[in-house]
């Protein structure tokens, strides 16, 4: 269970599909011995998709019908 001391409210940016303007949002980060950990539901939202821009290239992270994650360019 998440404890208040385990949550880091770091800013994360989301890029809407229809817009190039970034919207800022805050996601809870769980403390983990392996580093930062974010719940996939918080990233993907209700539609199960997240656009990611990495080194100028746009990717989409989405949940499949089988509940797995897939990253596509």
Q: Between these two residues, 3 and 47, which has the higher pLDDT value?
A: 47
Mean pLDDT of the chain: 73
pLDDT of residue 38: 86
45 is a domain residue: yes
Q: Cα separation of 69 and 38, whole Å?
A: 14
Q: Between these two residues, 43 and 14, which has the higher pLDDT value?
A: 43
Domain range for 44 is 40-66
Domain count, the chain: 1
31 is a domain residue: no
Q: For the chain, what percent of residues have pLDDT higher than 90?
A: 44
pTM beyond 0.75 = no
**Which structure tokens are listed for 30?**
């769980």
For the segment 46-72, the average pLDDT, to the nearest whole number, is 95
51 is a domain residue: yes
Q: Cα separation of 8 and 63, whole Å?
A: 24
């Amino acid at each position: 269970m998440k404890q208040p001391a385990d949550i880091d409210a770091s800013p994360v940016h989301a890029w809407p599909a229809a817009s190039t303007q970034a919207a800022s949002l805050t996601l809870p980060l769980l403390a983990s011995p392996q580093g930062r950990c974010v719940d996939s539901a918080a990233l993907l939202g209700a539609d199960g998709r997240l656009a990611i821009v990495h080194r100028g290239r746009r990717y989409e992270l989405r949940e499949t019908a089988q509940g797995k994650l897939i990253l596509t360019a």
